[in-house]
Amino acid sequence: MGDEMDSALIDGLFPSPVSLNTVLDEIPRGVLLVDIRGRIVFMNRALSAMTGYDVSETRGLSCFNIVRSSICSGQCPCIEEDGEALTTASVSIVTRQMQKIPVRISRVSVRNIAEEAVGFLEIVEDLRAQHKTGDEANYGWRPGHLVGVSPQIEKVFSILPMVARADSPVLITGESGTGKDVIAESIHLNSDRARGPFIKVNCAALPETLLDAELFGHQKGAFIGASESKAGRFRLANNGTILLSEVGDLPSGLQSKLLAFLDDNIVYPLGSHQGVDVNVRIVAATLQPLDRLVQQGRFRSDLLFRLSGIRLQLPPLREREGDVRLLLEHILRLVAENFSKTIGGFSEKALGILMDYHYPGNVRELKNIVEYAVSVCRSDTVTEKDLPDYVVEGAGGGDNGSGLMMPVVHPGQNSFGHANGATWEDTEKKMILEALVSARGKKSRAADVLGWGRSTLWRKMKKYGLE
């Protein structure tokens, strides 16, 4: 089926045949072709970017397995009983990353020359830019679900509208869990590129060769296992925004390739000498001190300069005065609703413990703690018995509750809390060891404490010889 679509042509309209999938890939909205049984024949790059599924892995699957909308569990409302297609349906779809996205799906029948229905053509329009959250309605412009009223976070909020309207590269720095990805997506959704795709890439998750192909694409046969051509994330993000998460882990070879792209906006897929023009805004995020990496020769100074067209530093939760309680109450409401539970709040003792805790994982960890508490809570109030043990034991202590000391600056230390002469690698290695100790050797829990994925933790353990 895939080979048939790759060779599908539009013939008779132009002096020479034109590739059908090339035309559909250039449409800035999601396009899906399915047969009469609802099996996917073709999905264009825009819909691949929206759903998170690669084009090659969707062919032959049922439509509802990929475009998982809020109405797919019942009878598809896009088809009437007589088999005719309705014009549109406004629904929500769930992406591969389990993110809910409001969309408008327009669907028409595809008929052969005998007027027999052979399939359907669906156009999927992303409506996120047109939807406001409750917080945005109450407080005005707000970056997604990141909530706060402290002076530290309000300073960031105040400049975000201007950042969104600009089209310069953005570098977002801050500790793990401070909301860098949320800020990046909010910049996209409030920019002129909001109707285009928003693509995330974790630069720390893949080795250099695979990351090169993931970012810039590859031609069929470019390397062993490349059974077909792949567009790459930059081309998927065309006319939109790409988020390069953990850009500090980008290998040196790809740093040079990224710098070249920033200069000419041309992508060169692996195995091809033919460049492709791409119009994309780059937002980079990292928890690492890039200035120090430049001094160590591990990050290009010219790339840092280009990525820092606009630079945002997100404050850790411990420095956001008054925001912990606001976040606890806000996230409790959302999580309780998702769990279909009626929970009015926290007991006085539970709230005291949560207010005293240091949250080394910042907002992400706070959210995880609330989700755990709601899942085990059997009454209408979260009590201290519903909180994770490490939170109860760590609240009010000198550490962060997980055995990891907070990076407080003392005389003889630099701005990152490192002893003079110590490196980021020394600090990161210590963080990993302490996380593993606090997690009693369980890598998945240690990764959660650090705010990393398991693959990132395993890669860094291998790097430092800690397997």
Question: Please, what CATH class does the domain formed by 424-463 belong to?
Answer: mainly alpha
Q: How confident is the model over 172-225, as pLDDT tens digits?
A: 999 999 999 999 998 998 898 988 889 999 998 888 878 988 899 888 777 777
Side chain identity, residue 172:
I
Taking only the tens place, the pLDDT of each residue in 24-75 is: 877 878 888 888 888 888 888 788 878 878 777 787 888 877 777 766 655 5
The enclosing H or E element of 90 equals strand 88-94
Report the distance separating Cα 336 and Cα 343, nearest Å: 6
pTM above 0.85, yes or no: no
Q: Which CATH number does 320-394 carry?
A: 1.10.8.60
Rounded distance between C-alpha atoms, residue 195 and residue 200, angstroms: 16
Higher pLDDT, 138 or 327: 327
Residue with tokens 């034991």: 393
Q: What phi-psi label fits residue 220: left (phi over 0), alpha (psi between -120 and 50 degrees) or beta?
A: beta
Q: Indicate whether 104 pLDDT > 90.
A: no
The domain segmentation of the chain, as residue ranges, is 2-127, 134-313, 320-394, 424-463
pLDDT computed for residue 7 by the predictor: 63
Task: Report the pLDDT averaged over residues 317-329.
Answer: 89
**Whole-angstrom distance, CA of residue 38 vs CA of residue 256:** 44
Q: What superfamily would CATH give domain 2-127?
A: PAS domain (3.30.450.20)
Integer CA distances (angstroms), 181 to 45, 159, 176, 238, 243, in order: 22, 17, 10, 19, 8
* φ, ψ for residue 277, nearest 5 deg: -70, 130
On the question of pLDDT at 410 being above 70, the answer is: no
Question: If pLDDT is split at 50, 70 and 90, which confidence band does 265 have?
Answer: very high
Chain CA centroid to CA 252, Å: 23
227, containing H or E segment: none
CA distance linking residue 91 with residue 67, whole number of Å: 10
Query: Which segment of 133-147, 172-186, 245-259, 312-326 scores lowest on mean pLDDT?
Result: 133-147
State residue 365 phi and psi, 5-degree precision: -70, -40
Q: Which long-range contacts (CB under 8 A, 24 or more apart) does 436-443 make?
A: 436/466, 437/403, 438/390, 438/402, 438/403, 438/404, 439/402
CB atoms within 10 A of CB 398: 9
Where do we find the tokens 């570098």?
171
Specify the pLDDT at position 464. Answer: 81
Rounded CA-CA distance 143/221 in Å is: 42
Report the topology of domain 134-313.
Rossmann fold (3.40.50)
